[in-house]
Chains A and B, each alone.
Chain A
Amino acid sequence: MSDAPTNPSPASPVPEPAPDPPLYVYAITGSDHPLRLDGLRTVGGIGGSLSAVVRGGLAAVVSPAPSELRPKRRDLTAHQELQERLMADGAVLPMRFGMLAPDSASVGRALEEKSEEYTRRLAELHGTTEFNLKAARAQDDLLREVLSESEEARRLNELTRDGNGTHEDRVALGELLARQVDARQRLLAGQVVQQLAGLARASVEGAPAKDDFLNVSFLVARAHAHEFTEAGQRLARDFGEGYDFRLRGPLPPYSFAA
């Protein structure tokens, strides 16, 4: 005789348990991390709804998943700022942007299943931070260098200037230049990494974007962060004009979390 099954009204005297919503997952820390989450924005912009799922000595920072997720600057910044807050108080495994869990129970299970692995990784990252260095060299300088050192490049350049020469000459010149530029960029990348690697515990190279010849992340002891920054600045000064170095850090250890 219960009226509950026939009464779908939200004002039902027997309320349905609140549905466990899908969650956006930001990061994993040790469960002893203070998790100062106050005042932080969430991905998706729902303020004040950050929380933690704690299990197996670990904590996963989560918030209700936004209904639509695009990598807007606002959301990327929210993701990043949360990592920065967490890393100020202890080791953190930052998640890749956009990880969604179906509910809090599944987050708990994920922590439990890999508890040992995550705990070990957090211990390894304790007291460290990531620096990312991107570097470019003015292309004209590279081309001039090739011309000054390659007689064949000079010959083909003369041959093809002002629209002269054949299509094949042009392609031959371009191929020679491309090979030479690539080789020189690789050499430069090796030199730069070598100069900084001594101050880092580990490094990971990524694919350089656009005109860059280098995209490398270093794992650096926090105690040496200042020293590392100075070394980067010195290196940029030594390479001088025509080079563009962008050193970013201290960063959450995105490149060393996996």
Chain B
Amino acid sequence: MTTASGTQPVAASSSSGSGTAGLYDILELILDRGLVIDVFVRVSIVGIELIKIDIRIVIASVDTYLRFAEACNRLDLESGRKAPARLTDIVGDMVESGAKGTTNGAISGAVDGVVDAVGDFFGGDDEEKKR
């Protein structure tokens, strides 16, 4: 599982469903889109709500502002882009462990818990190694 999607600029292939990284990226399609027949029961699935919450953070909160300010204060203004692979790494980590969090991002802190929960979906499967 070292070939996370983020290691390539664009990962596009016909084997879209296989692999943890691929599945993670389409999780929300499988769980939250697709046809619904309203006379049927949708099994209540723990955590689907969490995935919905895992959207871009609501911008208007003092907490968010403070994290943005802190991230900005921390920037090394001299160095310009210093970590070309950073975002890619973050995505990779998230996919691999689900629990690392992304301490580099100002807006990421608030959703770490959610990523934890999403990561737990994939725990417990025999082919998934335990953290």
Contacts and interface: CB of A to CB of B under 8 A. Distances in A.
A10 to B, nearest CB: 28
B37 A210 contact: no
Given A73-B122, A173-B72, A251-B16, A257 B34 contact: yes
B71 A139 contact: yes
Contacts of A144: 75, 77, 80
Interface string A214-246: 010100000000000100110111000111111
B56 A136 contact: no
B42 interface: yes
B20 A73 contact: yes
Contact of A237 (B9, B39, B42): B9
Interface string B69-100: 11111010100110110111011001000000
A1 B43 CA distance: 45
Given A141-B81, A177-B72, A210 B87 contact: no
A130 B17 CA distance: 13
B12 A143 contact: no
Contacts, number: 262
A248 interface: yes
Contacts of B88: 244
Nearest to B4: A246
Contacts of B17: 77, 80-81, 83-84, 251
A179 B59 contact: yes
A53 interface: no
B26 A132 contact: yes
A254 B9 contact: no
A212 B56 contact: yes
Interface residues of A, number: 92
Contact of A96 (B36, B54, B122): B36
Contacts of B9: 233, 236-237, 243-245
Contact of A95 (B35, B62, B115): B35
Nearest to B112: A210
A135 to B, nearest CB: 10
A246 B87 contact: no
Contacts of B46: 70
A83 B121 CA distance: 21
11 contacts: A71-B31, A76-B23, A80-B23, A97-B30, A101-B41, A138-B86, A147-B75, A156-B69, A162-B73, A174-B65, A249-B16
Interface of A: 25, 27-28, 69-74, 76-77, 79-81, 83-84, 93-102, 106, 109-110, 114, 130-132, 134, 136-141, 143-144, 147, 153, 156-157, 160-162, 170-171, 173-175, 177-179, 181-182, 185, 206-213, 215, 217, 229, 232-233, 235-237, 241-252, 254-255, 257-258
